[in-house]
A and B are shown apart, each in its own frame.
Chain A
Amino acid sequence: MNGDWMEVMKAAISEVLETMYFAEVSFREEKAIPESFEGWRARIQARRSDGANSATLILWLSPHFAKELAGNLLALEPHEISEEDVKDAMGELANMVGGSWVKQLEPSEWRLGLPDAAPVDSQIAGAGAGWEMLSYGEPVGFAAVQVTEGS
């Protein structure tokens, strides 16, 4: 199933964005996430109940796109959206993508943790690679799955 994890995540991202955030994205290519990336990072960990491994789903979103998504979810105008709104909307995005991801894999074998979201406003080292996401042809962020083998 490992080879399909990212494809399942792409489908989960698309489903959640289209249903709850009224946004569409496409995925261009897998590439290194730039250390100079500025924006928001939202993530959630899914752990196999047998402890075999865990997977962390990470979304890196540009400030503009994150704010647009928060506005769409909350039906607010851009000037009405606070940083706390964006943080909460990004956390819920990770939560729903994680839930949709697990549902499409093997729901009985995975447990989701709690999501977290935070702004990324300084250089990040070792972020690894992610699938670049585009909205209306413009880059809006990255999506990645990091798998950790259990004991």
Chain B
Amino acid sequence: MAYNVLIVDDSRSMRNVIKKVLKISGLELGDILEAGNGREALDRLGEAWVDLILSDVNMPEMDGIEFLRALSQHEDFRDVPVVLVTTESNEKRLEEAMALGAKGYLRKPFQPEDVRSLVLETLGVEDEWGLDGSDEGCDF
């Protein structure tokens, strides 16, 4: 099965980094869609089926928390798993995000292996590389 992934981040650089990490993750990828904020992400979701969303929190126009809230109220999209990749470290904000349905979060800066592990875990995909969480063999 090929997974379609939506990356939501106002930094094009960060979207590219995450895209590269996904490409070396071992995950079978379909389309990788991109959006610069939550509002754009809602538009992308209307255009194509998405299996996983990786979203920043601190974004202009519609931030990650508002995006999660909008998703939770949307009949078609509320079951799409969301993982936050963020600089946010305020526990209340992160708890709010989890209460709104986020499946997990990862703090920037991150190691590629951290993204890979969380993505595979969230999608319930077996880790065929059998790595134990170290970043051995996984680099940009």
**B66: min CB distance to chain A, Å:** 14
Given known contacts A73-B13, A74-B17, A108-B91, what 14 new A-B pairs fall within 8 Å (CB)?
Answer: A19-B109, A20-B109, A74-B13, A75-B140, A85-B12, A85-B13, A88-B13, A91-B11, A95-B108, A99-B86, A99-B89, A100-B109, A102-B90, A103-B89
Whole-angstrom distance between the alpha carbons of A108 and B59 in the complex? Answer: 19
A107 contacts across to B, CB distance below 8 A: 89-91
Q: Which residues of B contact A (CB under 8 A)?
A: 10-14, 16-17, 20, 58-60, 86-92, 107-111, 140
Question: Who on chain B is nearest to A85 by CB?
Answer: B13
A79-98 CB mask vs B (1 if < 8 Å, else 0) is 00000110011011001101
Q: Across the interface, which residues of A come within 8 angstroms of B140, CB to CB?
A: 75
Q: Is the interface of B mostly helix, strand, loop or mixed?
A: loop
What is the bound-complex CA distance between A81 and B27, given in angstroms? Answer: 28
For chain A, give the interface size range: 20 to 34
| 21 contacts across the A-B interface (CB closer than 8 A) | A16-B109, A20-B109, A20-B110, A73-B13, A74-B13, A74-B17, A75-B140, A85-B13, A92-B11, A95-B58, A95-B108, A96-B108, A98-B87, A99-B86, A99-B87, A102-B87, A103-B107, A107-B89, A107-B91, A112-B58, A112-B88
Within 8 A of B (CB), among A31-47: none
Q: A5 within 8 Å of B by Cβ? A: no
- B-side contacts of A110, CB under 8 Å: 90
A42 to B125 CA separation, bound complex (whole angstroms): 39
B residues in contact with A16, CB < 8 Å: 109
